[in-house]
Structure 1
Amino acid sequence: MKKKSIWPKVYLAFIFIVLYAPIFYLMFYSFNSGGTMNNFEGFTLDWYKELFGDKRLLIIVLNTIIVALLSAAIATMIGVIGALSIVYMRKKTTKQALLSLNNVLIVSPDVIIGASFLILFTMAGIKLGFTSVLLSHIAFSIPIVVIMVLPKLEEMSMSLIDAARDLGASPWDVLSKVILPYISPGIFAGFFMALTYSLDDFAVTFFVTGNGFSTLSVEIYSLARRGISLNINALSTLLFLFTIILVAGYYFIMQRNSRAAEAGVRK
């Protein structure tokens, strides 16, 4: 037997080091009592205390979470409807055209999308703030949800739907008791991806946010421009940990769903 090469593992380890080393460096100095990122003078939690004592920043955190949850929930509902419409569309040319338009929105530069939304909201007379940020986040999250849901719909056998109809199930029963439970992993994946994109987005939000309303990404950018402050390190550390919790929760839900599906098959 040929021995497996160690170089792929070395390369993978190198990639992870390059990606995570700056993050851990930032997290490490968020506990520095010296106030700089040059010399670690001692351990302290003062930067976190100062962070939680900043009411304005706490309001921005709340704004970010509200926008992310609302945009992800609404985008998931619209994205599921869009994926269902695309899958069960009869004309292949129209189906391919819609898929292409959906994919174009995903790969389009965020600067172009943000500038387009800014022009649209200005022409429509929509005041820049919570509403404009929410609408833009919903818009760029919908294609992500469609992409996550489509594979589950395409692998679903039509025999399940035909069997449900033969047993007298109404169209609503087929949708709620057959289709949606089957594609639930894709729905959860789309929701968490939309939530993550909303929390992390900067370029689009920077264009459509207004006076009196801000999100964490824009606020971190403005804080960084003022100079080095370990408040940014503390805030970034908490964001990173929150993202890890989201990812862990997603995998927990996916494992639970897969176990439930396997149990159902065995029965």
Structure 2
Amino acid sequence: MKRNRWSAKLYLVAVFAILYAPIVYLVSYSFNSGGTMRGFDGFTLDWYKEVFADTRLLIIVLNTLVVALLSAVISTILGVIGALAVHRVRRSRNRNALLALNNVLIVSSDVVIGASFLILFTLAGVKLGFGSVLLSHIAFSVPIVVIMVLPKLQEMNPTLLDAARDLGAGGWDVLAKVVLPFIKPGIFAGFFMALTYSLDDFAVTFFVTGNGFSTLSVEIYSRARQGVSLSINALSTLLFLLTLLLVVGYYWINRRNGKAAAGPLEGRP
């Protein structure tokens, strides 16, 4: 048993080392004064200063954050509505069909999704830019929110709804005071996942981005094609830290909600 445990731990260490080694390499060389990734000559913050001194890049960062926040908020609202609609379907065959349609955008290739949106916007006469990127991010984020919220709805005891109705609560009161508070962890999880996916997406955004509008992922790709510059490392490091903060924030809120839910139960006999 002990040997199996050590083997499992070593396997996990090896997996995480392989996953995070490129990120550590990228981050460490963002502080290299040599200007290349072939040898570390000394510590410097010049590449970060170069990033913050680039006005065009700061505008792109603002574009990325606006798109991510708007798409996360809108997709969370639509995803909650979609999860409620799927949960209300009684026949399992119809429910499974709706879930299959919902999961298409999750399992489909990003290249296929991006090309499909590009063809759709071209045929519809939609100008590529902020609007097309926002609509695309909302579209692929909604199924993620549905997947996050639906399990919490399935965990909810139907007797809670019956008790609320017996006490005189209307349909809106049941939704606002019983259902939404119960599924709040799933809503937060869906929001943070949608926000993270929007910040990190490249393939779909690359297809639907027009002239004069760009996001961080597309900008990093464009700069990397022009040649190796450690400002790309600095920019990628900042983006990684932002994503890491979002993940930590999600777990902190989830843990806090778990403690708040467990608190009243601890006092019961």
TM class, shorter-chain normalised? over 0.9
Classify the secondary structure of the residue corresponding to 1:50.
helix
1:1-267 alignment, distance < 5 Å = 2-5=1-4, 6-267=6-267
Q: Which amino acid aligns with 1:106?
A: I
1:200-242 per-position Cα deviation (integer Å, ceiling 9, x unaligned) = 1000000000000000000000000001000000001111111
Q: Please give the alpha-carbon distance, in whole angstroms, between the structure 1 residues aligned to 2:143 and 2:136.
A: 12
Equivalents in 2 of 1:232, 1:101: separation in Å?
A: 38
Moved more, 132-141 or 93-102: 93-102
RMSD value, Cα: 0.9
Aligned partners of 2:133, 2:243: CA distance in 1, in Å?
21
Mapped partners of 2:210, 2:264: distance in 1: 50
Which amino acid in structure 2 is aligned with residue 88 of structure 1?
R
Aligned length: 266
Tell me, what secondary structure is at the counterpart of 1:34? coil
Distance 1:258 1:209 in 2: 40
TM-score by length of 2: 0.97
| Runs of 5+ unmatched residues, structure 1 | none
Q: Distance in 2 between matches of 1:115 and 1:233?
A: 29
Amino acid of the structure 2 residue aligned with 1:137: H
Q: Which digits, 9 at most, give the CA deviation of each residue in 1:143-171, with x for residues without a partner?
A: 00000001000011000000000000011
Q: CA deviation at 1:264?
A: 2.6
Query: Take 1:166 and 1:266, find their aligned partners in 2: how far apart are those partners?
Result: 27
Could you list the runs of 5+ residues in structure 2 that have no partner in the other structure?
none
Deviations 1:45-79 (A, max 9, x none): 11010110000000000000000000010000000
Matched residue of 1:127: which SS? coil
How far apart are the structure 1 equivalents of 2:71 and 2:174? 27
Give the residue type in structure 2 aligned to 1:254.
N
**Whole-Å separation in 2 of the counterparts to 1:208 and 1:3:** 53
SS of the aligned residue for 1:232 comes to: helix
TM-superposed CA distance for 1:4, in Å, is 4.5
- 1:184 partner letter: K
Once the two structures are TM-superposed, the CA of residue 244 in structure 1 deviates from its matched residue by 1.2
Once residues 197 and 157 of structure 1 are traced to their aligned partners in structure 2, the CA distance between those partners, rounded to angstroms, is: 31
Percentage of identical aligned residues: 72
Q: Is the partner of 1:181 in helix, strand or coil?
A: helix
Question: Which amino acid letter does the alignment assign opposite residue 114 of structure 2?
Answer: G
Whole-angstrom CA distance in 2 between matches of 1:147 and 1:174:
22
Q: Distance in 2 between matches of 1:31 and 1:93?
A: 56
